[in-house]
Chains A and B, each alone.
Chain A
Amino acid sequence: MTLALTLSNIGMSFPLASAGDSQRHQALEGLNLEIARGERVGLVGRNGAGKSTLLRIMAGIYPPVSGTVWRARELSIALLSLGLGFKNELTGRENALLAAVLQGMSKSDARLRLSAIGDFTELGRFYDEPVKTYSSGMRSRLGFATGLLLDTDILLLDEILSVGDHGFRKKARDALTEKLTSERTVILVHHAERAIREVCTRAVWLERGSIKQDGPVEPVLDAYGNSS
């Protein structure tokens, strides 16, 4: 087994603004996790369990307070989450252009992709309207379509399949499945267990910042389901 990512004894805490930064909220504690190349891991847990914090640490957005994160040097990593990072005054098309350039494309290459992104989102004339006029479903669809541009070795997906109506969700899952080659490592956070059953080969249940259970998808999801 070749490792893609190793987290050893990870601890993470944040200052509580209400306590004038003197008290801290412990988001993760003593967390150990090894992820092999090509593995598809589903992360489950209640709100506040530390899933998004863990993804941000994996993505290198910020380091943990304690412990170490190791990632295979040659592997690229990206975090995709919906509804975040859009500029409300820009249109869907302009936000898509910005997202593409943010992901390293030249402006001319990005422009070539804009029509395809617009078609995928099914936003119609709203694609050229400011994002502030969008419903949450429309924002999610745009977020998913721009996120599909990512082409990294390790994909961290935060709730990205909760997109739009049933028809669009199926289309989104199909599009994502196309990207899941055997070499690509995926860590998927999702509330809907069905998505994890379909995409993942392993599940990790996070509870109050620590791993409660880690193993094959079915037993972990069953235990998680029975606990709630």
Chain B
Amino acid sequence: MTLKQYFNLVDTMARLSLKAEARRFYFGFWWWVIEPLLYVAVFYTVFYQLLGNRSPDFLMFLIVGKFTFIWFSKTVNYAGNSLVSNAGLIGRMDMPKTLFPMAVILECSYRQTAVFALLVALLILDGHSPTAYWFWVVPLILVEALLIIVCGLLAAVLVCIKRDFALLINLGMLFLLFMSGVFWDLNSITDESTRSTLLFWNPVAFLLDSFRQVLLWQQVPNVRYLLGLLVLLIALLALITFGMGRYRHYLAQRVVTA
């Protein structure tokens, strides 16, 4: 399979899935933006109205955090099941096993473009005028996309080996939701070393904080860490795609016989 055929296939699978999903629901494509907005509404009600969080600009703080987190969490969750849910096709054709998680990742990323567009609109409506700092969003999106691809491929392999990983990944996303500062500010951790450790070992927390830095606080993110993360993710991506290629028959056997 040529690279062109590979991407043609990934794109076709992603677009067809999006169409099918839109057909299933009354509000169709609108769910792409309704769902993250509902999440924000729930979190806002709990943390602002009920628990009395009065941080300045809390709503936009929450929106930036939740909109970027949801891309990671939903995509990795879906990608985790992508191999086992395509057992019929995998048992019939010897094809690259990365194809299925990549199609899911692209599908979720198409959906995320609408979410990012909504984010920009909400920021402007709220009085956050675009600044030069906003250009930092491009490398941040690129690094988050790479992180999603690496985690999504890994999740697909793990679930293929043992279905139990699907439950653990779900739980892991809940853990990340609490540990990444989606609804609380990492800067509220007074101990500097704890805060640095959390940001260092949790790239999701780092990315969420960076998105807020460039969009809300006109600050430059930690470029050294961002570059380091980029290099690490490229290396991991090369490693995992090589592994999935080398062990593609083993993966097929796990999927077909499980």
Binding site for B on A (CB under 8 A): 14-15, 17, 56, 59-63, 78-81, 84-87, 89-90, 94, 97-98, 101-102, 104, 106-107, 130
Contacts of B195 in A (CB 8 A): none
Evaluate contact between A15 and B257: CB separation under 8 angstroms. yes
Evaluate contact between A89 and B92: CB separation under 8 angstroms. no
Evaluate contact between B19 and A94: CB separation under 8 angstroms. yes
Closest residue of chain B to A106, judged by CB?
A: B8
With the chains together, A79 CA to B89 CA distance in Å? 10
Contacts of B196 in A (CB 8 A): none
Evaluate contact between B8 and A81: CB separation under 8 angstroms. no
Given A85-B91, A94-B20, 17 additional A-B pairs, CB 8 A = A14-B253, A17-B258, A56-B91, A59-B94, A61-B90, A63-B249, A79-B93, A84-B88, A84-B91, A85-B93, A90-B20, A97-B12, A98-B16, A101-B12, A102-B93, A104-B1, A130-B20
Contact of B12 among A59, A63, A107 (CB under 8 A): A107
Q: For this complex, into which size category does the number of interface residues on chain B fall?
A: 20 to 34
B42 to chain A, nearest CB (A): 27
Contact of B88 among A17, A59, A86, A90 (CB under 8 A): A86
Within 8 A of A (CB), among B1-19: 1, 5, 8-9, 12-13, 16-17, 19
Contact of A61 among B1, B16, B19, B249 (CB under 8 A): B249
Evaluate contact between A104 and B91: CB separation under 8 angstroms. no
Contacts of A14 in B (CB 8 A): 253, 257
A87-B16 contact in complex given A61-B256, A106-B8, C-beta closer than 8 Å: yes
A50 to chain B, nearest CB (A): 13
A156 to chain B, nearest CB (A): 10
Closest residue of chain A to B12, judged by CB?
A: A101
Contacts of B88 in A (CB 8 A): 84-86
Binding site for A on B (CB under 8 A): 1, 5, 8-9, 12-13, 16-17, 19-21, 23-24, 86, 88-95, 249-250, 252-253, 256-258
B19 to chain A, nearest CB (A): 7
Contacts of A56 in B (CB 8 A): 91, 256
B15 to chain A, nearest CB (A): 10
A89-B24 contact in complex given A15-B257, A84-B89, C-beta closer than 8 Å: yes
A–B pairs, 21, beta carbons within 8 Å: A14-B253, A14-B257, A56-B256, A59-B93, A60-B94, A60-B249, A61-B92, A62-B249, A84-B92, A85-B93, A87-B16, A89-B17, A89-B23, A90-B17, A94-B19, A94-B20, A97-B12, A97-B16, A102-B93, A102-B95, A130-B20
